[in-house]
Amino acid sequence: MASEAFKLSICIPTYNQATSINALLDGLVLQYVPEIEIIIRDDSTNDETKKIVKKFQDSIPIRYYCGQREGLDSAIIFLTSQAIGEFVWWIGDDVISPLAIKKILTILDENQNISFLWINSTNIYDPNKLTCTNENSEFFINKNDVLRRLDIGLLGFITATIFKREVGVRCLEDARKHIDSAFVCMYIVLYVISRGGSSYYAGESFFSSYPKPPGEVRWYDQTQVFGISLFKIVNAFKADFDAKILKNALSKNLSMVLKAIFVERSMGLKTGFASGNKKIFSLAVIYWNYLNFYKFFPLIILPVAISRLLYKTFKLVRS
């Protein structure tokens, strides 16, 4: 099929997630239409994913690439560079809803000026719990409205973001400077949003995601990524957005990071955000002029025993 016929490139980075890939491709087989292409970058340490992909290639066309275990950031850049559809949709280890592809293609076909689309999702264990509570689909007023209405961290939620490929590929070389930040995806998304075209919010759920439990051990340091890397990525675009709105978005995100540090330490955890004690000085350096830092700073430096007591007292009062 000629590249012009592909409306959407579904780009799937994966690493030792054979079960998730099997479930995802099972769903894509049922939703497959000729307007989409499927590309997989597999950095797995075994051949399980490769075997699964080969099984599905008999049913739907899939471009499959074995990576060199370079990490998500490199995989995102690679997949974006390989995509030939008009739009790119990265998909992580999430569960795509029935008819999601049809609905996305309808939105893109009916709104020709869209360059960025943010799609809502639900908690996989609670279908009524939307990631964003606003169920009404609508255009963002402008690029600053995106930062005003969405938590900035949601722009790094790969399965929630779809963008016009011809805009995104222009920044791939600059995006390489942020490899190992875990937020190359956010850099590309912010670039697309800042370069014009309409941005659209789709309020209904298009997929379900697994909740991240407190203290979860991930392949990255949460405090480093959400507190420090995010700040650096967002500030790379400070000339493109309203300064006050940008700072408010970062301030709101900072509050969530500091709350997570306090809560997870108070729960007696030593992983997840609770492992971020060594990052407190780094946070102080970059957020020294943010009032929210000083609001939470006394809490995150308290001895754990006192933090636990305060946290238990707070929960009792709220119950």
- For the segment 17-42, what is each residue's pLDDT rounded down to a tens digit? 999 999 999 999 999 999 999 999 99
Chain centre to alpha carbon of residue 17: 18
**What would the mean pLDDT of 65-91 be, rounded to a whole number?**
96
What topology is assigned to 3-209 in CATH? Spore Coat Polysaccharide Biosynthesis Protein SpsA; Chain A (3.90.550)
The pLDDT, as a whole number, for residue 319 is 74
Indicate the range of 25-29, 144-148, 288-292, 314-318 predicted with least confidence: 314-318
pTM above 0.85, yes or no: yes
The pLDDT, as a whole number, for residue 4 is 53
**What would the mean pLDDT of 51-55 be, rounded to a whole number?**
96
Under 8 Å between Cβ of 118 and 154: yes
Amino acid identity, residue 176?
R
The pLDDT, as a whole number, for residue 68 is 84
Task: For 235-248, write each residue's pLDDT tens digit.
Answer: 999 999 999 999 99
What's the distance, Cα to Cα, between the start and end of the chain in Å?
59
Q: In 10 A of CB 52, how many CB atoms?
A: 23
Task: For 167-220, write each residue's pLDDT tens digit.
Answer: 999 999 999 999 999 999 999 999 999 998 999 999 999 999 998 888 888 888
Q: Give how far Cα 56 sits from Cα of 22, 26, 59, 319, Å.
A: 9, 8, 5, 50
Of 223, 231, 247, give the one whose Cα is nearest residue 178: 231
- CATH 3.90.550.10 segments of the chain: 3-209
| Measured distance CA(159)–CA(147) in Å, rounded | 18
% of the chain residues with pLDDT over 90: 84
Q: Give how far Cα 205 sits from Cα of 88, 100, 128, 146, Å.
A: 19, 8, 9, 18
Of 18, 15, 11, 8, give the one whose Cα is nearest residue 66: 15
DSSP string, 127-169: EEEESSS----EE-SSHHHHHHHS-GGGGG-GGGEEEEHHHHG
Question: β-strands 95-96, 87-90: how paired?
Answer: unpaired
